Chain A
Amino acid sequence: MTSSRTDPLPGARATTAPPAAGAAGRAHRQVRGGRRRHRWDARFSPYAFIAPFFLFFAAFGLFPLLYTGWASLHRVSLHDPTHMEWVGLQNFSRLLEDDFFWNALRNTFTIGVLSTVPQLLMALGLAHLLNYKLRGSTFFRVAVLTPYATSVAAATLVFAMLFGRDYGMINWALGLVGIDHVDWENGTWTSQLAVSAIVVWRWTGYNALIYLAAMQAVPHDLYESAALDGASRWQQFRHVTVPSLRPTILFTVVVSTIGATQLFGEPLLFGGSQTGGGSHQYQTLGLYLYEQGWFNFQLGRASAIAWAMLLILIAVGLLNWLIARRLGRTR
């Protein structure tokens, strides 16, 4: 492309002298211009390539994040969201005295533990099995990833039926082994277990595949020398696989924690209400934010909850970072 631009016209040079000189001069200028354009292009094109991402992020990520902080210092009604009345830190101080907030925080934590721990442990075991030489390994991998393709809404609707008190399949199966009907939705622990089960179902296979990818990167000679030292399969798993996977495990813990902090769709649709059960027994922070903003019409308070969530996430992130650093040092 540039070559056609910088080539002086051959015909022009052949005919008459003065225009030829002019053409050559023009061509020279064009080469210089081309080079300048080239340098300019090389210098600024990277910014042009990353600009769309950052522009969209600034408009729909960063600005809303900061504006949420600003809104949390105001009283804002859902009915008239442009009218903001300054109240200082009142929304936050109210939160500290709000039993429902602490309840939601507690529930988020317990459901987070109930869903994350079994999920990751099962994923680790599943990945270990998938790492064997298998017939139909692709089938197994796709099958365990299928729940990931199921939306929160669809999955929760199905599980709400399976966990039904009177006609649910789980109570029916428990009845076969002599356990009386469990009222899953109305109990605190039972409802939190049921909500956690949905999360575990959706994400176990996904995490297993992450672990599997990490396991495949562990050099085989490590296992070989462990086997030479007489390590059993279980010892190999404990002393070779798990330590090699440490960064991956830490990473999945971080991601699952973030996911657990935002948990919203499962508790909303499990009972079909923003209160998270009759006595708020499985209302999470995300759900409480939604209730405050879109059912109590208090957008300012909803913003304060959102920022509380952010602070919790930052604290969790710092904690993880400290643990990672400690682990890295002791090694």
Chain B
Amino acid sequence: MPATLRRRTPGSRPGGRPGTEADDATEGHTRADGTGTARRGRGPRLRKAGGAGRQLHAGPFAYAVLVLFTVGSLFPLVWTAIAASRDNQRLAETPPPFWFGGNLFANLTTAWQDANMGKALVNTVFVAGCITLSTVLFATLAGYAFAKLRFRAKNLLLMMVIGTMMVPPQLSVVPLFMAVAELEWTNQLQAVILPMMVNAFGVFFMRQYLTGALPTELIEAARVDGAHSLRIVWHVVFPVARPAMAVLGMLTFVLAWNEFFWPIIALTQDNPTVQVALTGLGRGYIPDESVIMAGALLGTLPLLIAFTLFGKQIVGGVMQGAVKG
């Protein structure tokens, strides 16, 4: 597993900065296997000579297949919008519609009001925002400790972090449900925020990034100057980690927005998140297909907008240290 997560070439690292040589040296040390060090050791010179220049150009066939994949990836989303702009009758005819109709606004309004999508969106922004903030903060702290500090049982604890990534959510819902029932937190947003406040992937992601990007000398220098740890975190670690924190924040937000299993147990249609409201729609809460599609569109649109704006960064984040949440 680590081999996949470690993959970060010098060229692709977002936070390239002076002192890179030193980082590379330190990273070489911390790497467990020889290949990474060797690859890195060959350094930028080879990369410059052999980089994009030697990459094969794509032929027309490659473009054709890629366009096919692109259409396949985007078509269901476009069709969601088309279906949301029609009415229920038109959707019960063949051939299915391939272009937009005039009902989009009416359907969106119905979904917003009757399916509670408005409240769901506000709730989800709040829930995903809280989860993102705490995940990024705690992941950066722990990732920094695992990357750069020395303490007892460090490797064992790191293995535990990785191990927790494997535990499926199904193993915690029953006790969490009991706790929520006991505390009478059903339908309250903290019930879905608290269990998601930290994330093992985030810790691992930040550790991988900081191992390479944060020069150990910088921390030592700050310590010699007498800075205590919190000060070092604030003035040295956070500035260096900022690009990775942004990427982790975006990935976490997407995952938190789409969190499904626990919210549909802890919340009801009275105070839903987007996924809970969509589940209500899918179970026939409103038996109008075009309104269901309008709800799906509303629930996806914020993330799609984020993707158009930050797509490049999100792609970079997934490629840097990709693990399913």
Contacts and interface: CB of A to CB of B under 8 A. Distances in A.
B176 A64 contact: yes
Contact of A169 (B96, B197, B229): B96
Nearest to B172: A64
A323 interface: no
Given A154-B296, A261-B168, A60 B177 contact: no
Given A64-B176, A149-B254, A299-B174, A53 B56 contact: no
Instruction: Give the one of A131, A169, A272 with max B CB within 10 A.
Output: A169
Instruction: Give the one of B74, B171, B295, B312 with max A CB within 10 A.
Output: B171
Interface string B195-213: 1011010010000000000
Contacts of A1: 226-228, 231
Q: Secondary structure of the A side of the interface?
A: helix
Nearest to B83: A161
B57 interface: yes
Q: Secondary structure of the B side of the interface?
A: helix
Contacts, number: 345
A234 interface: no
Interface stretch (B99-107, B240-248, B279-287): B279-287
Nearest to B298: A154
B94 A65 contact: no
A152 B176 contact: no
A46 B1 contact: no
Nearest to B251: A148
Contacts of A146: 73-74, 77, 304, 307
A142 B319 contact: no
A268 interface: yes
A53 B138 contact: yes
Contacts of B203: 53
Interface in B119-174: 138-139, 141-142, 144-146, 149-151, 154, 157, 160-161, 164, 166-174
Interface in B220-234: 223, 225-231, 233
A146 B72 CA distance: 11
26 contacts: A41-B228, A42-B229, A57-B198, A60-B194, A81-B182, A82-B181, A82-B182, A133-B58, A138-B312, A140-B66, A143-B70, A147-B76, A150-B76, A150-B258, A150-B303, A153-B258, A153-B279, A158-B296, A161-B91, A201-B72, A205-B69, A216-B9, A217-B7, A220-B54, A224-B54, A264-B261
Interface of B: 1, 3-4, 7, 9, 12, 39, 42, 50, 52, 54-58, 62-63, 65-66, 69-70, 72-74, 76-77, 79-80, 83, 91-96, 138-139, 141-142, 144-146, 149-151, 154, 157, 160-161, 164, 166-178, 181-182, 194-195, 197-198, 200, 203, 223, 225-231, 233, 254, 257-258, 260-261, 265, 274-275, 278-279, 281-284, 289, 292-293, 295-297, 299-300, 303-304, 306-308, 311-312, 314-315, 318-320, 322-324
Interface of A: 1-3, 6, 34, 37-38, 41-43, 45-50, 52-54, 56-57, 60-65, 67-68, 71, 76, 81-82, 125-126, 129-134, 138-162, 166-169, 172, 175, 201, 204-206, 209-210, 212-214, 216-217, 219-221, 223-224, 233, 247-248, 251-252, 254-255, 258-259, 261-262, 264-265, 268-269, 272-273, 286, 289-290, 293-294, 299, 302-303, 305-307, 309-310, 313, 317
